Structure 1
Amino acid sequence: MTLQRQPIPVLGVDATPLDVEGLTAVLNGYLADGATRTVVGHNLHSVTLFHSEPQFRKFYENSDVVLLDGAPVLWLWGRGRQKGGNEKPGSGTPGSKTTPVMDYRLGSTDWIPALGRLDGLHRIAVIGAGAAANAKAVAKLRAIVPGATVSGMPGEDWNPELEEKAAAWLAELQPQLVLIGLGMPLQEEVLWRRLPALPPAIYCAVGGAIEQIAGIQKLAPRWLGRLGLEWAWRLLLHPRRVAYRVFGEPWVLLALLVRRWLRGQA
């Protein structure tokens, strides 16, 4: 199953906009074919890395699904859709005008609770977060997907030795779905390095979603997300971790986009 990419105006990236129903259908197809697939998401941080890190860019360009994760990315895509550039017929299809724009904003915590809708999902692996958060996320996923075998491996203090151990663990486990939450861009770097030798599965880069699913990290209220103010919630809870992304990184991205535009004019 090949999904058509759609451009995000201004940002110079593309994505495969899906709502929960659409992503569920895509994942069902991937489970049926049993091939290696990758699912990632675009927010301003990933867009910055896309334009500054060649390896990260290649990984995203070769990923099977690139979800819209982040209000600015969603809004810019929505403006393009309103102008008619992304129109597709039918509910749940990529960019369908019959589905509200906000339904296409899929952070990991928006679609992970829907994993129970997948047919034939029996083996799930969860890599990342500390031991306590990982264990709680595994327990939550067992409730979300009853009857599935869900196994976890903490990712705290990730290093080459732990990476080798994780690769061997996955080879033995032979999961169908892997949630890897090591933070961006480490999780993408690991997948880029290891994917050719890893067992066939759907590999999903989920960032901090493991701690969020576990209940360790509090999710922003849904109304804040719809207003595009989740950054304020994260800044309040984790000021040191989030301050640069909120106040510094947008300027880096602006400089990268201006440089890209100037090169295009040359």
Structure 2
Amino acid sequence: MNPKPVAVVAGQQINVRNFDDLQRLVTGRVNQDAGFTLATLNLDHLVKQRRDKIFLAAYQRMTFVTADGMPIVMLGRQMTPDLQRVAGADIVLPICEVAERNGVGVFMFGSDSASLHGAAQRLQARYPKLIVSGIEAPPQGFDYASAEALESAARIAASGARLCFVCLGAPKQEMFADRMAAIYPHVGFLCVGAALDFVANTQTRAPNMMQRFGLEWIWRLVSHPRRMAWRYALCAVLLIQILLGRLTTQRSAIPERDA
């Protein structure tokens, strides 16, 4: 059974409050020999959900959903004031800590070969008892619904890994995780985007100060203006729609005074 939601943003439930919650929930699944899926919600995901019903359905089946991105966190805090940002880029270390503590293997899937090898080396240096059961970088144009995807998932399961970091980017990684978790219910599939690239230092993340104040989007926009400008414009439009919708709901809930 999935945990109860701690917040709902634009119809999407969030059920992981903070990093302690994340580690507790994943540890529970590992101890029960049960798999799961995990996604980290941001505005871009909400935009994509409105365009792609398959992605929306996959997201709604996720076992765990965290709040990633300060707009999501701030919207979620209207329901849960102590909701914390649990970003995909920050999940790898606490999950590796859980894996090492419980003696279960992790698999790294997605990204590219250099990033996966670099991440594996750095993580094993940090967590000496961490079991890296395998790594696999799929080819360009990888299709989550293909026969090749099924073969990749079979290799992940056969490796003995109980946890798999999926680094394919949204929406592909969430749909891959959703499909494969139904076939291999003992594996936990965590959708973490570029997290392993950051671990391996093959991509540079925004400075800590920008992360702390929720300004990573500026860093990404400056770093990749052509790719990110339209994405953030769509996110801004959606955020305005959400805020206006909440304002309308709040106003309609206020009883009118008798004249």
TM-score (norm 2): 0.83
- TM-superposed CA distance for 1:179, in Å, is 0.3
Query: Take 1:42 and 1:111, find their aligned partners in 2: how far apart are those partners?
Result: 13
Amino acid paired to 1:33:
Q
Contact 1:171–1:199 at 8 Å: present in 2 too?
no
Task: Establish whether residue 7 from structure 1 lines up as the match of residue 4 from structure 2.
Answer: no
Question: After superposition, what is the alpha-carbon deviation per residue over 1:107-143, rounded to whole angstroms, capped at 9, x for unaligned?
Answer: 1232321234323132110001111111111222223
Q: Which runs of 5+ in 2 are unaligned?
A: 253-259
Contact 2:34–2:185 at 8 Å: present in 1 too?
no
Query: Take 1:130 and 1:149, find their aligned partners in 2: how far apart are those partners?
Result: 20
Contact 2:163–2:187 at 8 Å: present in 1 too?
yes
Paired position in structure 2 for 1:153? 136
Amino acid paired to 2:161:
P
Paired position in structure 2 for 1:135? 117
- TM-superposed CA distance for 1:216, in Å, is 0.9
The 10-residue stretch of structure 1 (50-59 or 247-256) with the greater mean CA deviation from structure 2: 247-256
- TM-superposed CA distance for 1:247, in Å, is 2.1
Q: Which runs of 5+ in 1 are unaligned?
A: 83-96
Amino acid paired to 2:67:
L
1:52–1:162 Cα change, 3 Å: same
Paired position in structure 1 for 2:86? 106
* Aligned pairs, number: 243
Paired position in structure 2 for 1:68? 67
- TM-superposed CA distance for 1:35, in Å, is 1.2
Q: Indicate which of 152, 158, 177 corresponds to 1:172.
A: 158
TM-score (norm 1): 0.81
Paired position in structure 2 for 1:225? 211
Paired position in structure 1 for 2:194? 208
Question: After superposition, what is the alpha-carbon deviation per residue over 1:161-183, rounded to whole angstroms, capped at 9, x for unaligned?
Answer: 54233123113212110000100
- TM-superposed CA distance for 1:218, in Å, is 0.9
Amino acid paired to 2:135:
G
Determine helix, strand or coil for the equivalent of 1:179.
Answer: strand
Query: Take 1:75 and 1:204, find their aligned partners in 2: how far apart are those partners?
Result: 23
Determine helix, strand or coil for the equivalent of 2:38.
Answer: strand
Determine helix, strand or coil for the equivalent of 1:189.
Answer: helix
Task: Establish whether residue 187 from structure 1 lines up as the match of residue 173 from structure 2.
Answer: yes
RMSD: 2.7
Contact 2:2–2:64 at 8 Å: present in 1 too?
no
Larger Rg: 2
Contact 2:15–2:66 at 8 Å: present in 1 too?
yes
| Correspondence list, 1:65-104, <5 A | 65-82=64-81, 97=82, 101=83, 104=84
Question: What fraction of aligned residue pairs are identical, expressed as a percent?
Answer: 24
Amino acid paired to 1:112:
V
